[in-house]
Amino acid sequence: MPHDLLAEMVSAVPMPALMVDQTERIIAANTDAKTLLGQNIEGRHYATILRQPQVIDAMEQSLRTKGPAKTRHLANDGAQDTTFEVQCRYMKGVGAVDGGAVMAVFQDMTHLEQASQMRRDFVANVSHELRTPLTALMGFIETLRGPARDDVAARERFLQIMNDEANRMNRLVGDLLSLNRVESEERVRPKEQVELIGLLQSTLNSLRPLAENASVTLTLDAPSEPITLTGDSDQLRQVFTNLIENAIKYGGSGGVVDVRLTASERDTAMRGPAVRVQICDKGPGIDAVHLPRLTERFYRADSHRSRELGGTGLGLAIVKHIVNRHRGRLRVESDLGKGSVFTVILPR
Ligand SMILES: Nc1ncnc2c1ncn2[C@@H]1O[C@H](COP(=O)(O)OP(=O)(O)OP(=O)(O)O)[C@@H](O)[C@H]1O
Ligand SMILES: [Mg+2]
């Protein structure tokens, strides 16, 4: 096969690819391969370019046996570690003295690796979150069967704790299901017409008992005209409930939680008509190191306090998915010691 044709073929492979013939030199490489391995690699010995022992071994084996070989190539693209699956395939009748050559193709597996890592982390997190209340329940069952069998007062107390722990597990499972539902619907545009001021008023009303218990005053500052947008009213209610509940639970020491609704014809973030709902508290605030990760599942800025308050760490993850489904944005600003502002921007 003429060398030009071979080079053309390699350059048409839609991922890093190169060819090594029986002279053990790279006889062709496409631009993706040069980006991955270096610019002037043609004509060089493969071992000086491939470098990683397992890749050199695979190439060596494929050249020797004139058969296939497979391995992994690990790299870093400047932003993250990357993983490639390398497939070596022998081709007859090409290369120097037509002795055949090996084509090595590098398939990027980074996303797959990341997805499976995320899945493993998620399972580990869920198991851990469920195990804590479960261990407590099992401990109390044991105690009730043994030492506390005839102690009526202790029995009542333990049953109360068991009830709380079971509720916690129930909430966790409920939040997980809710997250799952929201995620699976994320690409389906909502269709309902929702009036936001009414929705916010009724959300605030249902949270008043919680606020009163925490000695927090809830206020709503909204325009007098009704504001409607296309959305999913149940989900938007969930967003505002989660955010206001958080403001009461974690920022309640400031004594007030203000909800502000504003509408504009040209929002700077949405480049078009949009509404902004801001939930402001005057509590302790959130350290800037936590802000980028706050919407991750199970992420808690103050894990002790969150657990103590019965939080599952899923609230903001759910909020983020719902806001995404509405093509909106969630912004968090916080000043340590001064409070936090969570802003939901929704396009109209
Ligand atoms: N207004 C706030 N002030 C200070 N910290 C906050 C505030 N809102 C959220 N946080 C922090 O962010 C963390 C994540 O919140 P998120 O709502 O996702 O979980 P949660 O409240 O712990 O659990 P859940 O909402 O599922 O009951 C909280 O644990 C808390 O540490
Ligand atoms: Mg929460």
Residues sharing a CB contact under 8 Å with residue 337, sequence separation 6 or more, in sequence order: 284, 285
For 60, phi then psi, to 5°, come to -60, -45
Ligand nearest to the CA of 245: 2
Model confidence at 3, pLDDT cuts 50, 70, 90, reads: confident
User: In the structure, what pLDDT confidence band is assigned to residue 323 with cuts at 50, 70 and 90?
Assistant: very high
The average pLDDT across 57-74 equals 96
Mean pLDDT over residues 307-333, rounded? 91
Average pLDDT over residues 216-226: 95
CA distance 346 to 71: 47
* Mean local confidence (pLDDT), 303-321: 85
Q: 176: CA distance to ligand 2 center in Å?
A: 13
Cα diameter, the chain:
93
Q: How far is CA 320 from the centre of its chain?
A: 10
SS3 state at 5: helix
State the pTM of this model: 0.78
Looking at residue 69, its pLDDT comes to 97
Question: Which residue has the CA at smallest separation from atom 6 of ligand 1?
Answer: 250
Minimum-distance ligand to the CA of 251? 1
Q: Which atom of ligand 1 is nearest to the CA of 302?
A: 31
Task: Report which secondary-structure segment, H or E, holds 248.
Answer: helix 233-251
144: left (phi over 0), alpha (psi -120 to 50) or beta: alpha
pLDDT at 306 (0 to 100): 74
Place of tokens 């005053």: 217
CA of 102 to the centre of ligand 2 (A): 56
What pLDDT score was predicted for residue 307?
A: 73
The sign one gets for the Cα dihedral 258, 259, 264, 269 is positive
Round the average pLDDT of the chain to a whole number and report it: 93
SS (H, E, C) 193-231: EEEHHHHHHHHHHHHHHHHHHCCCEEEEECCCCCCEEEE
Atom 8, ligand 1: which residue's CA is nearest? 246
β-pairing, 69-76 vs 81-91, is antiparallel
Ligand that comes closest to the CA of residue 168: 1
At residue 67, the 3 state secondary structure works out as: coil
Q: Which pLDDT value is given to residue 311?
A: 79
The bound ligand whose nearest atom lies closest to the alpha carbon of 171 is: 1
Question: Which atom of ligand 1 has the smallest separation from the CA of 251?
Answer: 3
Does pLDDT of 24 surpass 70?
A: yes
Predicted local distance difference test score (pLDDT) of residue 91: 92
Buried b (16+ CB within 10 A) or exposed e, 141-164: eeebeeebeeeeeeeeebeeebee
In order, the DSSP letters of 85-145 are EEEEEEETT-SGGG--EEEEEEEE-HHHHHHHHHHHHHHHHHHHHHHHHHHHHHHHHHHHH
The residue-averaged pLDDT of 122-142 equals 91
Under DSSP, the state recorded for 190 is P
Ligand 2 midpoint to CA 246 (Å): 5
Q: pLDDT tens across 180-190, in order? A: 999 998 889 99
* Mean pLDDT (whole number) for 149-153: 88
Using the mean position of ligand 2's atoms as its centre, give its distance from the Cα of residue 36 in Å.
43
pLDDT at 191 over 70: yes
Predicted local confidence at residue 199, as pLDDT: 97
pLDDT class for 284, splitting at 50, 70, 90? very high
Kindly state the percentage of the chain with pLDDT values over 70. 100
Q: How far is the CA of 165 from the centre of ligand 2 (A)?
A: 18
pLDDT tier, 94 (very low <50, low <70, confident <90, very high otherwise): confident
- DSSP class of residue 40 equals S
* The pLDDT value given to residue 304: 78
Pocket test of ligand 1: the residue of 126, 282, 293, 306 to mutate, having most ligand atoms within 8 Å of its CB, is: 306
Where does the pLDDT of residue 310 fall: very low under 50, low under 70, confident under 90, or very high at 90 and above?
Answer: confident
Residue labelled with tokens 């209340």: 133
Question: Can you tell me the mean pLDDT for 155-166?
Answer: 92
* pLDDT of 1 strictly over 70: no
**Pocket around ligand 1 at a 6 A CB cut-off:** 175, 242, 246-247, 250-251, 281, 283, 286, 294, 300-302, 306, 311-316, 340
